[in-house]
Structure 1
């Protein structure tokens, strides 16, 4: 009798012990907890012919930035896949497409695969979340598409804590905050250590303007979250943002220096770059003094990990870092060569950052208006894209267009309009 994983999918493992380690890896991976790599490694150590064990290992290695090892693991899975059933062959193919740098192909493969195998969670995960293949598709309407995706999957999962948290995020990003919060709380009741749910609960609290409650909740939740886990740095960014909005500058810098910036965070380079750039510039907008050395360090980090363009969300933050550090050649390279799924937006945005660094507000406005209509194409959550909303409002303020700045925030991001974290509003 064939063995089945915890989601009911037939698996090629020949050992229950190997499958138990695999299921533990799946749980840790879907909950964004540290230890998934070790669990998947244990599975294939017991059964080296367990193809999907190698896929899980590849996926977890990828999420810890170990790309060479990840490609080796998926290669082993592909060697073993020829004799497997359709579900397992397609499972391997979806992850292999992602690891080979073909996100659009991977996205289509995943969408097709989950129609037939909706409970294949490790594959379904690839298109969930704002950091997934839909989230980074570079397309208009991606939030609605993500909601449609998780809405179709949700009925197949019953009371599953992971899928609840994925759908709750989709609800949050489409403005359905109350429904999102209720579903997220159900997810957390089933698995209180689901870091994805804790993350998305913070998003719902942000959208509701619950600064004090959000700050308190996240501080408690983070207290025993492993700093090697994939979301530790990003949750630290949320903590820093809460502190900034709460007027606690010391706590904000403490969170940045303990878990967000290049010198402390242990997460993926894309998160370290984007989170650090965002909090530094949002601190600047709020009137705090930002040490220029921080921008120089971050510009050097961006150059090291993203020397060429292609990942639009990373590129827009790399451009900001180079602009604020006064690295004109680096900034010009992005403005001239930006490619990727939203490269056409990165180019004017890079020019806008350069103009802002020079305090040329008129030129900055000319460039920003080309971007603001479709910022969702750049990727990230609403909370992350508020960097652009606040930047745009600040440029309007610098040009004396105070009423327009207020109007833009009140219509586009009303959660920020009552007390905008921009110093120029107070002057």
Structure 2
């Protein structure tokens, strides 16, 4: 009897142990739950000629920013799949190889073509989805809509209560503005598989978009202790809790969460999360009028100094610019912005001119030149989506614009922006700001 994956797709192994360990490993990989590496290694050991566990292991190395190991394992998987893989498996490994070797545009095109033929191949379907997926980092201005369209195109193939698909379909709808549907789907996904950090992450985002901050805080407080500190997104889920506390003005709780679970010395997350979470939390503190405790900016900058020195990854570029601006490293920020402008000019930065513009605006804000910051950001605010990440992560740029407008005396523009935001998402912070503007 042929071995099959969870969706009854054939697997090129005669070892049921390898097939079972692969099925379990994929579920752990797609829920980012501890045990991924060990489980996939057991599949590899059970059948060393079976390419897909090696490819999934390479994918996990890539998620963990372990580039050398990822490239070695995907190369081995490519060798094996040519010898004894099916057409689907060869395509599967090829798409992963493109992504792991930095050919993101080709990987996205390949993933879309692959899933049109094999929509239930969820390792590949997962790749364009999520905040850090191939769509999000494509530089597209409409990547939120693209995720929805991809999920809806293939929804008919999945069982109604498929925990994995419900989560990413719900995430896509929530980020694209259908918060009620997104909330229902992501919360159902979490009910079906509680040991799934991607589900609680998606729930945190849709609750943020719904303005349900107290509910988000309770879910995070209840769920997070059951997720090992070594888990890939432990620090990032805690960051969501810190943002909720900061938004409601509870600085003591926010700083306690940051210091205990998010800051570089304590987080066990991957560099892109550690850097973006620490930089954006501290920048929000500063923008909201709080004093950042001594040493925290320099601590975050020291950690970041080992990463993302080569400009061209917009999401990282923006957060590296925050650190440089906040610590007064004007030379580093100018060099990054200039390099990004060059990449825009030669057409190799798909996110476009919004990226160097945000870098210049952050410098102006840090220098107290609020009118200049607003002048730079206003024309490109609608393009910020192109840097990738989630709506909650990108909102920091709009916060910077809003605070700049208020501090530059542009009360009418600030009120209009606040009105639009409050119409979309109730926010205690925005309500306080609007009240302050009304009081003059």
TM-score by length of 1: 0.96
**What is the rounded CA distance, in whole Å, between the counterparts of 2:301 and 2:89 in structure 1?**
42
Give 1:386 shift: 1.1
Could you tell me which residue of structure 1 aligns to residue 271 of structure 2? Answer: 269
Residue in structure 1 matching 2:317, options 294, 315, 320: 315
**What is the rounded CA distance, in whole Å, between the counterparts of 2:194 and 2:253 in structure 1?**
25
Could you tell me which residue of structure 1 aligns to residue 150 of structure 2? Answer: 149
Is the contact between residue 345 and residue 370 of structure 1 (CA under 8 Å) also seen in structure 2? no
Is the contact between residue 310 and residue 341 of structure 1 (CA under 8 Å) also seen in structure 2? no
Is the contact between residue 384 and residue 394 of structure 2 (CA under 8 Å) also seen in structure 1? yes
Residue in structure 1 matching 2:353, options 344, 355, 358: 344
Residue in structure 2 matching 1:388, options 377, 385, 397: 397
**What is the rounded CA distance, in whole Å, between the counterparts of 1:178 and 1:315 in structure 2?**
32
Could you tell me which residue of structure 2 aligns to residue 106 of structure 1? Answer: 107
SS at match of 1:34: coil
1:124-139 superposed matches below 5 A: 124-139=125-140
Q: C-alpha deviations, 1:131-159, integer Å up to 9, x for none? A: 10011111111111110011112221112
**What is the rounded CA distance, in whole Å, between the counterparts of 1:424 and 1:409 in structure 2?**
7
Give 1:303 shift: 2.7
Residue in structure 2 matching 1:183, options 182, 185, 202: 185
Structure 1 alignment gaps of length 5 or more: none
**What is the rounded CA distance, in whole Å, between the counterparts of 2:271 and 2:300 in structure 1?**
11
Could you tell me which residue of structure 1 aligns to residue 236 of structure 2? Answer: 234
1:4-403 superposed matches below 5 A: 4-83=4-83, 84-158=85-159, 159-338=161-340, 339=343, 340-403=349-412
Structure 2 alignment gaps of length 5 or more: 344-348
**What is the rounded CA distance, in whole Å, between the counterparts of 1:160 and 1:357 in structure 2?**
46
| Number of residue pairs matched by the alignment | 427
Give 1:168 shift: 0.3
SS at match of 1:126: coil
Is the contact between residue 162 and residue 187 of structure 1 (CA under 8 Å) also seen in structure 2? yes
Could you tell me which residue of structure 2 aligns to residue 420 of structure 1? Answer: 430
Could you tell me which residue of structure 1 aligns to residue 346 of structure 2? Answer: none
Is the contact between residue 154 and residue 164 of structure 1 (CA under 8 Å) also seen in structure 2? no
Give 1:424 shift: 9.8
Q: Cα 1:347–1:424, aligned 2, differ >3 Å: closer, same or farther?
A: farther
**What is the rounded CA distance, in whole Å, between the counterparts of 1:311 and 1:247 in structure 2?**
32
**What is the rounded CA distance, in whole Å, between the counterparts of 1:367 and 1:324 in structure 2?**
18
TM-score by length of 2: 0.93
SS at match of 2:305: helix
Is the contact between residue 286 and residue 421 of structure 1 (CA under 8 Å) also seen in structure 2? no
**What is the rounded CA distance, in whole Å, between the counterparts of 2:370 and 2:245 in structure 1?**
28
Is the contact between residue 402 and residue 414 of structure 2 (CA under 8 Å) also seen in structure 1? yes
SS at match of 1:304: coil
Give 1:40 shift: 0.7
Moved over 6 A (4+): 421-425
Q: C-alpha deviations, 1:352-374, integer Å up to 9, x for none? A: 11111110112212221242021
**What is the rounded CA distance, in whole Å, between the counterparts of 2:303 and 2:375 in structure 1?**
29
Mean alpha-carbon deviation: is it higher for 183-192 or for 304-313?
183-192
Q: Cα 1:207–1:280, aligned 2, differ >3 Å: closer, same or farther?
A: same
Q: Cα 1:413–1:11, aligned 2, differ >3 Å: closer, same or farther?
A: farther
Is the contact between residue 287 and residue 422 of structure 1 (CA under 8 Å) also seen in structure 2? no
Is the contact between residue 138 and residue 379 of structure 1 (CA under 8 Å) also seen in structure 2? yes
Give 1:194 shift: 1.9
Q: C-alpha deviations, 1:371-390, integer Å up to 9, x for none? A: 20211101111111110111
Q: Cα 1:419–1:248, aligned 2, differ >3 Å: closer, same or farther?
A: closer
**What is the rounded CA distance, in whole Å, between the counterparts of 2:352 and 2:276 in structure 1?**
16
Is the contact between residue 163 and residue 189 of structure 2 (CA under 8 Å) also seen in structure 1? yes
Q: Cα 1:174–1:192, aligned 2, differ >3 Å: closer, same or farther?
A: same
Give 1:423 shift: 7.0
**What is the rounded CA distance, in whole Å, between the counterparts of 1:23 and 1:421 in structure 2?**
48
Name the Cα RMSD after superposition.
Answer: 1.7
**What is the rounded CA distance, in whole Å, between the counterparts of 1:55 and 1:239 in structure 2?**
34
Give 1:300 shift: 2.8
Give 1:277 shift: 1.0
